[in-house]
Structure 1
Amino acid sequence: MSEQTNTDTDTGNGTDTDTDTPWAIELTPEHPTERIADLAALAEDQGFGVAFTSSHYFNRDPFVALSRIAAATDELRLGPGVSNPYETHPVKLAAQTATIDELSGGRAVFGVGAGDRSSLANLGIERDRPLRRVLETFDVARDLWDGETVTHEGTFTAKDAALNLEPVSDIPVYVGAQGPHMLRMSAKHADGVLINAAHPADLEWAADELERGLEERPDERGPFESLAFASVSVAGDESDAREAARPPVAFIAGGAADPVLERHDIDREAASAVSNALERGDLNEAFGRVTPEMIDAFCIAGTTETVADRFEAALEHVDGIVVGSPLGPDLEDAIERASEALANATRRVEGE
């Protein structure tokens, strides 16, 4: 587990809980932005400290959703989770995030990653040199947020670029990561990592990779925070929760690397069938091809008690958890159940 320190860049948790374990939530703007804002307000009431909005071209605009969340909440930190620097130019991403920081009174966080390969393929975008692209994106963003004029030639180009606004606060950078190189890079350069995993075996492996990156982390970077960006589906009925898990599991399984599939003994052909359906844009077929083994490997799904047990196992390897979508068949109920499960799990881990 990486070093856990409560600082101004820490995602923290809400005021309703007495714990050092960061609680976060992902809200997917597949729903109207007004509902997303209401869900964020509920999450804040339930003790969550940060809300990420997922960024996919087929959903509502994440930054519009974030503006609504900012208006509906008081202390909740918020940001894209995760934006990618292929669909949107990195300088534009920096401006959008700075706008959210201004609008929220200094509560923004910047979640950035390489993006979903299948979604980018739908747009004819090649995800080339993802490690460099992500690193260069947040390096340039930090310079822009510091008020600098930037000229950059690398995986993207910016010439004499500057922003007409400055963030209210120092915006922490959280890198969405799954592979070894992105994990190590995040530990070396970012403020935190959003590990695209839910299973303890994957999180344990990721923690080892992060430790390798932390060995090369400059002291001036300050503390680092590891969060499991875990797909979660929780409900009163186990089968209902597992059925609601199919959409996010499809995207995870469809993009999973061979070593990940092998770790969970998932058939490569079955995962490829999911991936191919996603690239064709046939979401119903992709969701239907999700197997029980994929749900077990890539989602924390079940009743409140089951989810609490899985949270506890995850927290052996990370500093905190992002409760990712779909959350469950009933979103309001799922947020309350997820809060209860996190409270139970963190009490056990912290020895209360």
Structure 2
Amino acid sequence: MTDHTSTSGEPTWGIELTPEHPPERVAGLAALAEDEGFEIAFASSHYFNRDPLVVCSRMADATDEIRLGPGVVNPYETHPVKLASGTATIDELSDGRAVFGVGAGDRSSLSNLGIERDSPLRRVLETFEVARDLWDGETVTHEGTFTARDAALNLDPPSDRIPVYVGAQGPHMLRMSAKRADGVLVNAAHPRDLEWAAGQLEQGLAERPDDHDPFESLAFASVSVAGDETEAREAARPPVAFIVGGAAEPVLERHDIDRDAARAVSEALEQGDLPEAFGRVTPAMIDAFCIAGTTETVAERFARALEYVDGIVVGSPLGPDLEDAVERASEALSRASSRDT
């Protein structure tokens, strides 16, 4: 088995903070995560939650060292040039700690807004390549999946290079991220999915130009950790519903998820009936798409995941008690890796 570690020789610890709570609460969680040893904090993006870039600005004020940025924003709801500008602003506010998490977005959420998710791979690739040019101070004219004419930014981000992490699940997006991005956020929590994804990433890395920076693969894993197993699993229902709603057929097949059950979740999401969607989540879906349980259980799952990736982003829901979950997740990561907190 390949030993996946960051350039420091130890797995990277990341965390996803969901702006379903006021910005000050999320900023406090970022500060706690920093104290607990996390290195990257992503503010997730869904139209029904608070704006991730606004929340990132509060996170920047509340922290000193942790890298932070939107994750994962999509270039459909917001023009790519605006995403580049917003991320550059976070880099300025944080004294060069920004990261850019970008992906194609949830098909079910985009459908609520009447947005068709066309040419997702090309649009994501063009988005971060244009963003890189803008961050380098270039004036950009681009005609592709989106249009930009003589676009430039009126600010100079302090980072020499803002790292781009692509949210990916399908084979083509995984391979593209390994070939062109700085990192990948693999939308998976189960070793079976991560092993398959690692194979796709290896194909992309074989085509990666020699002059590119080292590439980092992170499992962007739904995690729910608590002192009580049942409470942890119950809290996992909402994020698992969204994962199931966007899961491709081969992913469902890999875990033998009942198609009718998955369709019921997806249809409820598209109709905007979140309670119905969450209620339709089955135990098998939680097992497949979330690392849920006590600190001990989660540590064991983290260790298995780290056989295939360079680090883990502890994703939503974290757990029924957020502050407790951040501390438990840190303890679980410490047990699963070589690091002591």
- Band of TM-score, shorter chain: over 0.9
CA contact (8 A) 1:192 1:227 kept: yes
1:284 to 271, 275, 281: 275
1:204 to 195, 207, 212: 195
Task: State the partner residue of 2:140.
Answer: 150
Residues 193, 276 of structure 1: alpha-carbon distance in 2 compared, 3 angstrom cutoff: same
> In 2, Cα distance between the equivalents of 1:342 and 1:306?
11
Do residues 132 (structure 1) and 122 (structure 2) align? yes
Residues 2, 119 of structure 1: alpha-carbon distance in 2 compared, 3 angstrom cutoff: farther
Runs of 4+, deviation exceeding 4 Å: 1-5
Q: What amino acid is the match of 2:133? A: D
Give the length in aligned residue pairs.
338
> In 2, Cα distance between the equivalents of 1:63 and 1:140?
19
Q: What amino acid is the match of 2:170? A: G
> In 1, Cα distance between the equivalents of 2:64 and 2:263?
43
Task: State the partner residue of 1:246.
Answer: 237
Q: What amino acid is the match of 2:32? A: L
Unpaired runs of 5+ in structure 2? none
Query: SS in structure 1 opposite 2:29?
Result: helix
**Residue pairs, 1:191-270, within 5 angstroms:** 191-270=182-261
2:70 to 66, 80, 89: 80
Task: State the partner residue of 2:310.
Answer: 319
- Deviation digits for residues 295-323 of structure 1, max 9, x if unmatched? 00000000000000000000000000000
Task: State the partner residue of 1:189.
Answer: 180
> In 1, Cα distance between the equivalents of 2:118 and 2:209?
27
Q: RMSD value over aligned CA atoms?
A: 1.3
Residue 269 of structure 1 deviates from its aligned partner by 1.1
> In 1, Cα distance between the equivalents of 2:52 and 2:3?
29
Residue 254 of structure 1 deviates from its aligned partner by 1.1
Residue 222 of structure 1 deviates from its aligned partner by 1.7
> In 2, Cα distance between the equivalents of 1:326 and 1:338?
12
Residues 3, 139 of structure 1: alpha-carbon distance in 2 compared, 3 angstrom cutoff: farther
Query: SS in structure 2 opposite 1:166?
Result: coil
Q: What amino acid is the match of 1:262? A: E
- Deviation digits for residues 16-67 of structure 1, max 9, x if unmatched? xxx6210000000000000000000000000000100100000000001000
> In 1, Cα distance between the equivalents of 2:190 and 2:282?
16
Query: SS in structure 2 opposite 1:337?
Result: helix
TM-score under structure 2 length normalisation: 0.97
Do residues 48 (structure 1) and 38 (structure 2) align? yes
CA contact (8 A) 2:291 2:301 kept: yes
> In 2, Cα distance between the equivalents of 1:254 and 1:83?
18
CA contact (8 A) 1:78 1:107 kept: yes
Residues 88, 2 of structure 1: alpha-carbon distance in 2 compared, 3 angstrom cutoff: farther
Do residues 25 (structure 1) and 22 (structure 2) align? no
Query: SS in structure 1 opposite 2:137?
Result: coil
CA contact (8 A) 2:43 2:52 kept: yes
Residue 142 of structure 1 deviates from its aligned partner by 0.3
> In 2, Cα distance between the equivalents of 1:340 and 1:41?
16
Task: State the partner residue of 1:94.
Answer: 84
Do residues 164 (structure 1) and 146 (structure 2) align? no
CA contact (8 A) 1:254 1:275 kept: yes
> In 1, Cα distance between the equivalents of 2:91 and 2:117?
28
Q: What amino acid is the match of 1:42? A: L
> In 1, Cα distance between the equivalents of 2:263 and 2:44?
23
Residue 167 of structure 1 deviates from its aligned partner by 1.0
> In 2, Cα distance between the equivalents of 1:255 and 1:212?
24
Query: SS in structure 2 opposite 1:221?
Result: coil
> In 2, Cα distance between the equivalents of 1:57 and 1:111?
16
Task: State the partner residue of 2:100.
Answer: 110
Q: What amino acid is the match of 2:186? A: I
Residue 181 of structure 1 deviates from its aligned partner by 0.1
Residue 208 of structure 1 deviates from its aligned partner by 0.1
Q: What amino acid is the match of 2:40? A: V
Q: What amino acid is the match of 1:328? A: G
Q: What amino acid is the match of 1:130? A: P
Residue 4 of structure 1 deviates from its aligned partner by 4.5
Residue 202 of structure 1 deviates from its aligned partner by 0.0
Unpaired runs of 5+ in structure 1? 7-11, 13-18
Residue 5 of structure 1 deviates from its aligned partner by 4.6
Query: SS in structure 1 opposite 2:221?
Result: strand
Query: SS in structure 2 opposite 1:220?
Result: coil
TM-score under structure 1 length normalisation: 0.94
Task: State the partner residue of 1:9.
Answer: none
Query: SS in structure 1 opposite 2:211?
Result: helix
> In 1, Cα distance between the equivalents of 2:213 and 2:310?
16
CA contact (8 A) 1:2 1:207 kept: no
Residue 268 of structure 1 deviates from its aligned partner by 1.1
- Deviation digits for residues 215-245 of structure 1, max 9, x if unmatched? 0000111200000000000000000000000
